[in-house]
Amino acid sequence: MKRKICVVITARPSYSRIKTALTAINNHPELELQLVVAASALLDRYGNAVNNIEKDGFTITAKVFNVLEGENLTAAAKTTGIGILELSTVFNNLNPDIVVTVADRFETMATAISASYMNIPLAHIQGGEVTGNIDEKVRHAITKLADYHFVASKDAHQRVIKLGENPEFVFNTGCPSIDLAYEIQQTPVLDFDPIKKYGGVGGRPDLSQGYWVVMQHPVTTEVGDSRFHIEETLHAMHEINQPVFWFWPNVDAGADGTSTGIRSFRETHQLDNFHFFKNMEPQDFLKLLYSSKGLIGNSSVGIRECAFMGVPVVNIGSRQNSRERGNNVKDVGYSRIEILNSLKEIENSPKPKISTIYGNGDAGEKIAQLLSEIPLVFHKTITF
């Protein structure tokens, strides 16, 4: 009998971070994939990851609507509560052998609690990293609930073990998102017209001299500041006056500040060089990054995939705080001047070297193989 592996995807970025593992599970002769799509991954205004998932040929076993409107911190907590109510029923029906939860967004806690409370062995992808903000609390709390840890770097591997987890069940598989970057690496051509393929709104800048990509999310511990933060970045990108592809933020408490900031800036400034996208298929996004002058914002893609692809990154503020970096990253504060200076510095520097700190491109395969072999356990004791 095949092991039933239930993977819960709750947001667009989590999908790219797990995609190659999903494929590998699907292809593995001893595994059966149960794919649950939930939360903002189902919602139009956050990029409707579910469409990409279906287009990529995955069968969705269950959909869970649990995002409570409000985009404040109370709603984030309640979204997690509803997630537990719903996922418990789903797990009860699907009866999986292992549940897999990805990364550290607030609502992933619902997956972790439902599985661990129901005595279902829980695997956590991408524990052990350090970032600051609420993600930091969520990530390590999930580590303490999880039975297996598939981490993305040596550093993370050590940290999870230091957290008292049994080293036997902590595996440095690398990050599955690097698997995608590895594929791009093979044929790194921007072989599509982003605006034609993805629509979006804004100008149609001339790309012949290169372009920048911006992806900046609100930071949950600084809710009130999210509008100010985004405006500084908008000013910086406006001032450098070069083509920009700008991506809308995730559904997080504070997204309204970010979104409002962007909308209002668009009304009051001439932004012919800006084009705004809601989302993009992961591979296309990586191709877009690969051919860009650099990524600006606070997405973990800058830390991870961009390191492997050698794409320069201006990393703004505290969101990726202490995550391990390659030498492609320049850390700056929120001010437009700092951002602008970094952009200029990038223009005057050679392309950064490639780094494999987050994996070699075979993480998905490794994870599937481990899921087929590891003993099924849901009982653990701290090692110290």
Query: Within 90-109, which residues bind a copy of itself (CB under 8 A)?
Result: 91-93, 106, 109
Residue 224 CB, nearest distance to a copy of itself (Å)?
A: 11
- CA separation for the pair 64, 39 (Å, rounded): 7
Q: Does position 195 bind a copy of itself by CB under 8 A?
A: no
- Residue list 258-317, contact with a copy of itself (CB under 8 A): 267
Q: By C-beta, is 37 or 309 nearer to a copy of itself?
A: 37
With b for 16 or more beta-carbon neighbours within 10 A and e for fewer, the 148-178 pattern comes to: bbbbbbebbbebbbebebbeebbbbbbbbbb
Cα-based distances in Å from 49 to 164, 230, 251, 269, 335: 35, 24, 12, 31, 32
* Residues 323 and 130: beta-carbon distance below 8 Å: yes
CB of 233 to a copy of itself, least distance (A): 22
Task: Tell me the two tokens of residue 168.
Answer: 């036997």
Residues near a copy of itself (CB under 8 A), total: 73
Q: Beta partners for 172?
A: 151
Tell whether residue 118 is a contact of a copy of itself (CB under 8 A): yes
What's the min distance (Å) between Cβ of 358 and a copy of itself? 19
Q: Which of 4, 144, 235, 238 binds a copy of itself (CB under 8 A)?
A: 144
Give phi and psi for 13, each to the nearest 5: -65, -30
Question: Could you tell me the smallest distance in angstroms from the CB atom of residue 382 to a copy of itself?
Answer: 6
Binders in 72-91 for a copy of itself, by CB under 8 A: 72-78, 80-86, 88-89, 91
Q: Which of the residues 349 through 368 are near a copy of itself (CB under 8 A)?
A: none
Interface region with a copy of itself, contact rule CB under 8 A, candidates 13-21, 133-141, 272-280, 288-296 = 133-141
- Under rule CB under 8 A, residue 379 binds a copy of itself: yes
**Contact call for residues 116 and 203 (beta carbons, < 8 A):** no
Closest approach of a copy of itself to the CB of residue 379, in Å: 5
> Does 111 engage in binding with a copy of itself (CB under 8 A)?
no
Among 196, 208, 373, 384, binds a copy of itself (CB under 8 A): 384
Asked if 164 touches a copy of itself (CB under 8 A), the answer is yes
The Cβ-side half-sphere exposure at 164, using a 13 Å CA radius, reads 12
d(CA 154, CA 363): 14
Q: Looking at 218-226, 283-291, 294-302, 357-365, which segment touches a copy of itself (CB under 8 A)?
A: 218-226
Closest C-alpha among 363, 369, 349, 346 to residue 308: 363
Rounded to the nearest 10 degrees, what angle do helices 108-117 and 73-94 cross at?
40
In 3D, which of 11, 18, 325, 374 has the Cα closest to residue 166? 374
Binding to a copy of itself, residues 39-68 (CB under 8 A): 40, 42-44, 62-68
Shortest Cβ 373–a copy of itself spacing (Å): 23
Pick the closest to residue 309 from 169, 133, 183 (CA basis): 183
* Least distance between a copy of itself and beta carbon 160 (Å): 11
Minimum distance of a copy of itself from residue 209's CB (angstroms): 27
Residue entry with tokens 């920048």:
212
Q: Interacting stretch for a copy of itself, rule CB under 8 A, among 13-21, 35-43, 184-192, 301-309?
A: 35-43
